[in-house]
Amino acid sequence: MSLIELKSVSKIYPLGNQQVVAVANLSLKIKAGEFTVLAGPSGSGKTTLLNLIGCLDQPSEGEVWLDGHNVGKEEAKQLAKLRLNKIGFIFQSYNLIPVLTAAENAEFTLMLLGIDKVKRRQRIVELFAELGLQGLEDRNPSDLSGGQQQRVAIARAMAAQPAVILADEPTASLDLQTSEDLLALMQRLNETQGVTFVFSSHDPLVISHARRVVSLRDGCLESDR
């Protein structure tokens, strides 16, 4: 069974008295352990699709299934629970919580899950070592470089060992070298730990790292390879 399955999904936004079709009748399956990039020009519906998979939004038509849950049928509280248990998010602009330190940001989901402090710290030490963040535990996000912040964001996304990590243009704010390092890191995590990644990007560099590229155009599937 697929980890993620979209069945004839459409997402339509009302805009004034018009309607914007962001995703149109799209079907897609993603299995656990995949490393997928959603590619496509600006406005093609990448973010919208990630939001649907990530339980941040619900489809106008069709069904989105995540690990056996029909996302379209759940309530806000239930969606929050699904996100907490199944999904890790990485955003383009990092979006770390400014009042929390790097370590506290990373362990935030573990805290929400009610995991005790000792276990949380253990996991953070492990993750920070893996991500090359040792020594930065007590820094505030504002005192970290963009690449470091994005690695803390990856740590936060991975901490609770979610079924899938969704990343919306994770390298768009980073320079070439940092992007390259980060992609190599995520690829390694995918290969060694079997973490499922779904990216969105129109960056050829990112696309070149992907094992599967799903191309979108105007909300429709253009190619899948």
Partner 1 sequence: MLWRLAIRNIWRNRRRTLLTLSAMVVSSALLILCLGIFSGMLKDMLASATEQYFGHLEISTKGYQEDRDMFANFSVSDDFLLLLQPQVLGFSPRLRSFGLLSGQDKSSPVELLGVEPERERQVTSLQDHLQAGSYLLADDHEGALIGAGLARRLAVKPGDQLVFVTQAADGSIGNDLLTVRGVFATGDQGHDNGLVLVALPWLQQLLVLPGRLHEIAVRIEHPLQAAAFAAQLRQKLPTTLEVLDWGELLPEMREVVASYDVSRLIIVSILYVATGLGILNTFFMSVMERTREFGVLMAVGMRPGQVRLMVLLETLAMGLLALLIGVVFGVLLSLYMAYVGIDLSGSLTPITYAGGTILPRLHAVLEVTNVLVPAAVLLLVCLLAGFLPANRAARMQPVVAIREE
Ligand X SMILES: Nc1ncnc2c1ncn2[C@@H]1O[C@H](COP(=O)(O)OP(=O)(O)OP(=O)(O)O)[C@@H](O)[C@H]1O
Which of the listed partners (Mg ion, ligand X, partner 1, none) does 147 bind, with a CB threshold of 5 to 8 Å by partner kind? none
User: Smallest distance, Å, CB 74 to partner 1?
Assistant: 13
150 near Mg ion, rule: CB under 5 A: no
User: Smallest distance, Å, CB 152 to Mg ion?
Assistant: 22
Q: Contacting ligand X (CB under 6 A), which of 47, 148, 150, 196?
A: 47
Which of the listed partners (Mg ion, partner 1, ligand X, none) does 13 bind, with a CB threshold of 5 to 8 Å by partner kind? ligand X
Measured from the CB atom, is 30 or 214 closer to ligand X?
214
Measured from the CB atom, is 158 or 216 closer to ligand X?
216
The secondary structure of the chain as a DSSP string is --SEEEEEEEEEEEETTEEEEEEEEEEEEE-TT-EEEEE--TTSSHHHHHHHHTTSS--SEEEEEETTEEGGG--HHHHHHHHHHHEEEE-TT----TTS-HHHHHTHHHHHTT--HHHHHHHHHHHHHHTT-TT-TT--GGGS-HHHHHHHHHHHHHHT--SEEEEESTTTTS-HHHHHHHHHHHHHHHHHH--EEEEE---HHHHHH-SEEEEEETTEEEEE-
Pattern 192-221, ligand X, x by CB under 6 A: ----------x-------------------
**Stretch touching ligand X by CB under 6 A, among 36-44, 82-90, 124-132, 145-153:** 36-44
The residue ranges that bind partner 1 (CB under 8 A) are: 51, 54, 56-57, 76-77, 80-81, 83-85, 87-89, 91, 95, 97-100, 104, 108-109, 111-112, 156
